[in-house]
Amino acid sequence: MSYETLNKVGEKYASLIDSYISDILRGEPEDLYKAAMHLIKAGGKRLRPMITLAASKALGGAPSETKAVYYAAAVEILHNFSLVHDDIMDNDDFRRGIPTVHKIYGVNWAILAGDLMFSYAFLTPYLAIRAGADYKEIAKAVEVIGDGSRKIAEGQGYDIMFEKTWDVDEKDYLKMIYLKTGALIETSSKLGGIASNSDDEITELLGQFGRFVGLAFQIRDDILGIFGDPAKTGKPIYNDLRRGKKTILVLYASKRKSEWKEFFIKLFSGNQSDENIKEAVDIIKESGSLNYAEMLAKNYYNNALDRLDSIEKMGLIKDEESFKSLKELAEFSINRDK
């Protein structure tokens, strides 16, 4: 699929969001704001703000899009805040192909930069008053952003817990990736509904769309973490295996044979020679884990499309191009290579 509409809409919104954030996130001390803008300036997919803006325009037209840009900027700032702190916790050296914030500015400045961005994520929605939003709408937006932020923290907590135990099953994994990744995409979708003044039923359907896209997106991310091309992903080959990540690929294989589980336990305990990493990849392929993960992601993609179809059948679409971009984005989530 060419994703022609998605690319067109995505380029427009990426430029718009980058411009808004650059105007909003500025101040002193200079090093603090430079650290806060470091990852944002490196680019990124801008998937979350794109969903907010596309959903708002699809259901409310241009006036809703004008308000939604502030909510979209807020959610992108919040997303980047989570990445800065995540990189510190994981001690990652690179993100988006550049050194991470704490590697350039030091851990102290990176923590402060994250704190600053977190603050701006809740201040920025109030700027929507300039575009005609009332305080009732803004209060809804801030509540949804706050709920998404809480879930990100819970998801990160589960992720840390799972590093220390093998008492983790598929249900635990899906809960963790929903909280850590899916919840903020769910938030982004709901914000589009709020900006378009959609009723609670439509906003909830949009939220479910975002939730399913987020789950599919993260499962695809886990696949790329092992099988992705480093030149495209910007991450080292077999990155997740070397970091001991208990992704669906590892969990599914571990449940198939006890000797495979014992192998992964030893591998993640530090015995990560190139030979063992290669054997781990072979086990994942032999166990059917890769096929299972791809099927799981496809199921979530189908669920996401079902939610959009429900909205379309109600005759509520005001901008077909924006609506089409949401459909293409859902498909991109399971087919992307970076």
On average, the pLDDT of the chain sits at 95
Calpha distance 323→9 (Å, rounded): 10
Per the CB < 8 A criterion, the answer to whether 269 and 241 are in contact is no
The model's pLDDT over 263-287, given as tens digits with 9 standing for 90+, comes to 999 999 987 899 999 999 999 999 9
Radius of gyration of the chain (CA): 20
Q: How far is CA 280 from the centre of its chain?
A: 27
Calpha distance 138→126 (Å, rounded): 6
**pLDDT at residue 235 above 90?**
no
Average pLDDT over residues 68-91: 96
Average pLDDT over residues 215-240: 89
Q: For 4-335, CATH number?
A: 1.10.600.10
State the DSSP H helix or E strand holding residue 101, giving kind and residue range, or none if neither.
Answer: helix 101-105
Q: What is the structure's pLDDT at 1? A: 65
Calpha distance 137→142 (Å, rounded): 9
Residue 246 main-chain phi, psi, to 5 deg:
-85, 75
Report the first-to-last Cα separation within the chain, whole angstroms: 16
Q: What is the structure's pLDDT at 189? A: 98
The model's pLDDT over 26-41, given as tens digits with 9 standing for 90+, comes to 999 999 999 999 999 9
Tell which wins on pLDDT, 236 or 111: 111
The model's pLDDT over 125-164, given as tens digits with 9 standing for 90+, comes to 999 999 999 999 999 999 999 999 999 999 999 999 998 8
Per the CB < 8 A criterion, the answer to whether 307 and 208 are in contact is yes
Average pLDDT over residues 235-243: 85
Identity of the residue numbered 33: Y
**pLDDT at residue 23 above 90?**
yes
**pLDDT at residue 12 above 80?**
yes
**Residue listed under structure tokens 């003044």:** 197
Identity of the residue numbered 268: F
Residue 40: closest CA among 57, 59, 55, 20: 20
pTM higher than 0.85: yes
Average pLDDT over residues 214-223: 96
Residue 307: closest CA among 189, 142, 157, 195: 189
List the chain domain ranges: 4-335
Bridge partners, residue 95, by sequence: 98
Q: What is the structure's pLDDT at 148? A: 98
- pLDDT > 70 fraction of the chain, expressed in percent and rounded: 100
